């Protein structure tokens, strides 16, 4: 594919390039590179503000990035409107199944997938990392491990809104993720653009990366996966190197969107390795997106994948397939969090 944008994306540190209108009619700044001071936390989507709010008090008080990203995941899982936990949309059989992972900048990592009736999968992922010789536990085994570690089993019933949407979906049973709106808060139909009262859209995957005051990096992802997925389907989120990769020598990256596409190109690992060779975070995210586009340009136009990366030198960059991928940044400069929109291929 001819790379028409090659000369347009010149990294300009801290310079606002455009103020774009996103899919939902909101306007966020788009920057090719944002230089930030540590400590800092960065999360996918507008709803990343909730995650960042969970992490920021820890970072602000000199805490570890690892504790901060776990708190970010828990804050999202606790907040029904974030839609990443048990209040989220179910699979096509009507069951909410959750995926999560967590990773430290020294290569320690843990994940859980296809987990049911667990309120805080991110904390179970951390236990997998710290208490087992393994990296990923799945399904009933993950659930048994979680119970043995003192986490309670929740009832596992659908929220009223999620049940309504699922029954509506069953009428056609069509699995067709739509860019940026494939994962909305239950109660807001996936078949029309939807807004919260403040105009934001919501997503069912929260990816967070953080750098603490000491320069240590960590990240986490927590999700209910794509709405109405096949039972047993696992996306990119719990897979280290796909939905999340962190290396203190280079930086941290996370993803959101159609997980199958991210897994196929080992998305976040690709980004960190690109950054290792000297590419900026945005250039590295763009290269990962290019590999997705190359495989099937027509299909890539119709869906969303977004990556965001933070370098160990404090530069944030992002890139997505189509317009509308936003990310939230919180640090001393933006203590309440600020939302930016990524540049996109299409």
Give contact residues for ligand SD4 (rule: CB under 6 A): 183, 203-205, 223, 225-226, 235-237, 256-259
* Nearest CB to ligand SD4, comparing residues 268 and 274: 268
What sign has the CA pseudo-torsion 56, 59, 63, 69? positive
- The residue (of 53 and 237) whose beta carbon lies closer to ligand SD4 is 237
Residues 6+ apart with CB under 8 A from 297: 1
Q: How far is the CB of 226 from ligand SD4 (least distance, A)?
A: 5
Q: What size, in residues, is the chain?
A: 346
Q: Which of 205, 208, 223, 254 is catalytic?
A: 205
- CA distance readout (Å), 222 to 35, 50, 76, 174: 26, 13, 8, 25
Helix (H, G, I), strand (E, B) or coil at 309: strand
Distance of closest approach, residue 303 Cβ to ligand SD4, in angstroms: 10
User: Are the C-beta atoms of residues 53 and 43 closer than 8 Å to each other?
Assistant: no
Shortest distance, position 183 Cβ to ligand SD4, whole Å: 4
Return d(Cα 154, Cα 60) in angstroms, integer.
32
Nearer to ligand SD4, 70 or 204 (CB): 204
Cβ at position 43, least distance to ligand SD4 in Å:
12
Tokens (6 digits) for 51? 């995650």
Torsion sign, CA atoms 87, 21, 281, 295: positive
In 3D space, the residue among 211, 231, 227 whose CA is nearest the CA of residue 219 turns out to be 211
**Shortest Cβ distance from residue 222 to ligand SD4 (Å)?**
10
Q: SS3 of 238, please?
A: coil
Name the nearest CA neighbour of 253 among 313, 318, 202.
318
Q: Considering the complex, state which of residue 9 and residue 178 has its C-beta at the smaller distance from ligand SD4.
A: 178
Is 205 one of the annotated active-site residues of the chain? yes
Residue 322: φ, ψ to 5°? -120, 165
Q: Which of residues 183 and 208 has its CB atom nearest to ligand SD4 in the complex?
A: 183
Rounded Cα gap, residues 159 and 138, in angstroms: 24
Nearer to ligand SD4, 54 or 225 (CB): 225
- Residue among 210, 222, 176, 209 nearest 307 (CA): 209
As measured in angstroms, the least distance from the Cβ of 194 to ligand SD4 is: 14
What whole-number distance in Å separates Cα of residue 218 and Cα of residue 123?
Answer: 14
- Residues with a catalytic annotation lie at 205
């Amino acid at each position: 594919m001819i790379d028409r944008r090659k000369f347009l994306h010149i990294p300009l540190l801290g310079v606002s390039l455009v103020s774009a209108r996103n899919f939902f009619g909101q306007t966020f700044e788009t920057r090719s590179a944002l230089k930030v001071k540590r400590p800092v936390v960065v999360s996918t989507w507008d709803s990343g503000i909730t995650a960042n709010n969970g992490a920021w008090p820890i970072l602000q008080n000199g805490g570890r990035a690892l504790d901060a990203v776990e708190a970010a995941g828990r804050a999202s899982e606790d907040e029904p409107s974030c839609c990443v936990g048990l209040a989220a949309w179910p699979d096509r059989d009507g069951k909410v199944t959750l995926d999560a992972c967590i990773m430290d900048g020294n290569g320690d990592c843990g994940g859980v997938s296809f987990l049911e009736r667990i309120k805080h999968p991110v904390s179970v992922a951390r236990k997998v990392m710290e208490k087992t010789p393994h990296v990923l536990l799945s399904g009933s085994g993950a659930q048994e491990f979680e119970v043995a570690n003192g986490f309670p089993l929740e009832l596992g019933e659908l929220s009223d809104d999620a049940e309504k949407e699922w029954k509506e979906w069953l009428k056609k049973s069509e699995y067709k993720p739509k860019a940026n709106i494939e994962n909305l808060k239950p109660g807001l139909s996936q078949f029309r653009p939807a807004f919260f009262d403040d105009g934001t859209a919501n997503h069912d995957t929260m990816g967070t990366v953080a750098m603490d005051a000491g320069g240590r990096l960590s990240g986490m992802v927590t999700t209910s996966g794509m709405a109405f997925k096949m039972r047993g389907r696992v996306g990119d989120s719990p897979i280290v190197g796909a939905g999340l990769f962190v290396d203190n020598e280079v930086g941290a990256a996370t993803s959101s969107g159609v997980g199958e596409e991210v897994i196929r190109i080992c998305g976040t690992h690709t980004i960190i390795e690109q950054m290792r060779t000297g590419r900026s975070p945005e250039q590295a995210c763009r290269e990962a997106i290019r590999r997705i586009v190359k495989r099937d340009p027509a299909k890539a136009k119709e869906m969303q994948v977004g990556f965001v990366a933070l370098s160990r030198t404090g530069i944030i960059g992002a890139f997505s397939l189509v317009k509308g991928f936003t990310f939230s940044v919180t640090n001393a400069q933006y203590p309440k969090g600020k939302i930016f929109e990524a540049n996109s291929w299409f």
